[in-house]
Structure 1
Amino acid sequence: MLTFAVTGATGAQGGATTRALLDADQRVRALTRRPDSPAADTLRALGAEVRHADFDDRVSLDAALRGTDSLFAVTTPFGTDIATEARQGKALVDAAADARLGHVVFTSAAHADRGTGVPHYESKYVVEQHLRASGVPWTVIAPAAFMDNYASGWTLDGLRDGVFAWPMPADRPLTLIPAADIGAFAALVLQRRDEFTGHRVDIASDERTPAEMTEILASAIGRPITFQEVPLAYVRRRSEDLAAMFDYFTTTGLDVNVTALRRDHPEVGCHTFADWAAAQDWPALLSSAPAHH
């Protein structure tokens, strides 16, 4: 039986991948910097083996990967920076290569291979290129915009006031995916490596305009919500990186063939934005303390 190592196991994508693999009765080694956290305890209770791994500690990576067959690799610039993300991603790839893993699935970002100029897409592409050159059998999955972000941060702050504030025109479509579907797709790719090795796949579960999202959120929350387009200048004052991303969403757009993905991989069980919105605990989310940015 294969053992699948999953990095970022206590985060959104790694957690979803761990759960999807465990649901398929696979053996999972969940890697995390905080093996004593409540999130790690939850994974243990579900049947995962939890191990300490720190991207900046090569010895911990080598120990964590020893005896595993495949790896789900996720990196993030948030909480650090893009230079750190690229460095950590390369270190993880090098550890996987030295461990002679049979397959590495790296989760990047849709269009990251197209020269978007979005800093946190470019850093992921650096890791993608390093992975391709490493000699390890690889697959890159590249998710579109995360639905999960619509239930947190400044979006949630706006929804408390009955406003869906988003830095895009009301009629500009955006391809979307929830973490659960990224995990389901990653688990599928890990279990069917022969089919996916050497491929880069942009993934999304739905495509909606901000105007449509506003209606869907209003319906799920059960109260009127109005759309408000946030000026890019406002976003830029907070983050050049996010402003570049929203500018790309608005000008070029994230085209991902949702119809083909749903047709070709029905076992992923893609969730529409309406499915996702209906599954959120809005009363609890909306009554929690606002985030301060």
Structure 2
Amino acid sequence: MTLTNKTVVVVGATGLQGRAVTRHLLHDGWRVRALTRDPDGAHARALARAGAELVRARMEDADSLTAAAEGAWGLFSVQPTVGSPGTAQDFTTEDEVRWGVNVAEAARAAGVGHLVFSSVAGADRHPSEKVPANLVSKWRIERRVAELGLPATILRPVSFMENFTGGYALRDGTLSTGVAPDTVQQLMAVDDVGAVTALAFARPGEWIGRAVSLAADELTPVQVAEAIGTALGISLPYVRIPIEVIRSVSEDFAYAMQWLDEYGYRADIAATRRILPAAMDFSTWLARTGAAQISAFLDAARPAGQGTR
């Protein structure tokens, strides 16, 4: 365990990544200032019980961020993307960039000694290749962090394994996304992003100035469905959602699916394992937490009176 009297601010502390980062930092002995717009929410109260200090702040309010960051040594920054759970329907990529820039500028104004920004794998390919809107937005935030000259680490995780635990991918007894059945998609567990973040804060001399892509496994959607089915003892076929159907809802999201099919993240899995040898592959993640999460979702979604399959 790392023993320290330094404080790290976690922005977006009640989100998936923020909760994972907070858990790892508290476990390692850091003081954690967890920023949330709703300190009375269930996730926020759980963080407080674990030992985090709750501070009310909003990413759209730069002054609240600066005040919350005063006196802190480190700051973890992550922003939602369009369509993320909990974001307003009218939330845009411009909002995402504005929020990310606000956090970076607050870190500078407060004199934070180490900023860790969670971006996305492939964001750095923006200058040379057309990429989806969510990669462009993360790249724009990365550029602002660089312009400000912040002592920073950029983490670029690939798709999260947790994407397969709810309605985003589980529909009508199938696993369904817009990715082609034979496309190999790189995956990373959110908890392992938290572990790498804690490593970065513990070793600033090694991590400040680095930008690192993170991936721990790669599977086709068919293989993902088979692994989930085996873990739960159910039949879970993979059904691809036609790209035209996705395009009718969102052109940006349709292009993101096509980009995954054609280009993909291209992160170095071996390099991730050198950083975090214990990084979970998909089956390990299922055995530890994923299968239980998926089972809970399926049970909740099952019509009343219908038995388990």
| Structure 1 residue matching 2:9: 3-state secondary structure | strand
Q: Does 1:210 align with 2:221?
A: yes
Q: Does 1:110 align with 2:135?
A: no
Q: Does 1:148 align with 2:148?
A: no
Q: 2:197 aligns with which of 186, 190, 195?
A: 186
Q: 1:84 aligns with which of 91, 95, 98?
A: 95
Which residue of the partner structure matches residue 13 of structure 2? 9
Which residue of the partner structure matches residue 274 of structure 1? 283
Deviation at residue 184 of structure 1 after TM alignment: 1.0
What letter corresponds to residue 183 of structure 1 in structure 2? G
Measured in 2, the distance between the counterparts of 1:68 and 1:43 equals 18
Which residue of the partner structure matches residue 27 of structure 2? 23
Measured in 2, the distance between the counterparts of 1:131 and 1:193 equals 17
The sequence identity of aligned pairs, in percent, is 35
Paired residues of 2:170 and 2:176 also in contact (CA < 8 A): no
Q: Does 1:264 align with 2:268?
A: no
Calculate the aligned-residue CA RMSD, in Å.
1.4
1:164 and 1:53, CA in 2 relative to 1: closer, same or farther beyond 3 A? Answer: same
Deviation at residue 234 of structure 1 after TM alignment: 1.5
Deviation at residue 25 of structure 1 after TM alignment: 1.5
Mapping of residues 167-178 of structure 1, within 5 Å: 167-178=178-189
1:248-280 C-alpha deviation (Å, 9 max, x unpaired)? 1100111111122113332xx211111222323
| Structure 1 residue matching 2:171: 3-state secondary structure | helix
Paired residues of 1:77 and 1:84 also in contact (CA < 8 A): no
Q: Does 1:99 align with 2:115?
A: no
What letter corresponds to residue 138 of structure 1 in structure 2? A
Q: 2:68 aligns with which of 64, 67, 71?
A: 64
What letter corresponds to residue 68 of structure 1 in structure 2? A
What is the TM-score of this pair, normalised by structure 2? Answer: 0.88
Measured in 2, the distance between the counterparts of 1:255 and 1:136 equals 27
1:60-97 C-alpha deviation (Å, 9 max, x unpaired)? 11211011001000011332110011111111111111
Deviation at residue 59 of structure 1 after TM alignment: 2.2
1:168 and 1:77, CA in 2 relative to 1: closer, same or farther beyond 3 A? Answer: closer
Measured in 2, the distance between the counterparts of 1:239 and 1:7 equals 28
What letter corresponds to residue 282 of structure 2 in structure 1? F
Measured in 2, the distance between the counterparts of 1:62 and 1:164 equals 42
What letter corresponds to residue 284 of structure 2 in structure 1? D
Which residue of the partner structure matches residue 284 of structure 1? 296
Which residue of the partner structure matches residue 230 of structure 2? 219
Unmatched runs of 5 consecutive residues or more in structure 2: 303-309
Measured in 2, the distance between the counterparts of 1:182 and 1:224 equals 30
Deviation at residue 58 of structure 1 after TM alignment: 2.2
Paired residues of 1:100 and 1:136 also in contact (CA < 8 A): no
Q: Does 1:157 align with 2:171?
A: yes
Measured in 1, the distance between the counterparts of 2:275 and 2:194 equals 17
Measured in 1, the distance between the counterparts of 2:279 and 2:250 equals 31
Question: Paired residues, what number?
Answer: 285
Mapping of residues 44-59 of structure 1, within 5 Å: 44-59=48-63
| Structure 2 residue matching 1:14: 3-state secondary structure | helix
Deviation at residue 218 of structure 1 after TM alignment: 0.8
1:167 and 1:201, CA in 2 relative to 1: closer, same or farther beyond 3 A? Answer: same
Paired residues of 2:8 and 2:31 also in contact (CA < 8 A): yes
| Structure 2 residue matching 1:40: 3-state secondary structure | helix
Q: Does 1:35 align with 2:39?
A: yes
Measured in 2, the distance between the counterparts of 1:134 and 1:274 equals 41
Measured in 1, the distance between the counterparts of 2:276 and 2:280 equals 13
1:20-50 C-alpha deviation (Å, 9 max, x unpaired)? 1111111111111111111111001101111
| Structure 1 residue matching 2:77: 3-state secondary structure | strand
1:118-151 C-alpha deviation (Å, 9 max, x unpaired)? 1111111111000011121011001101111111
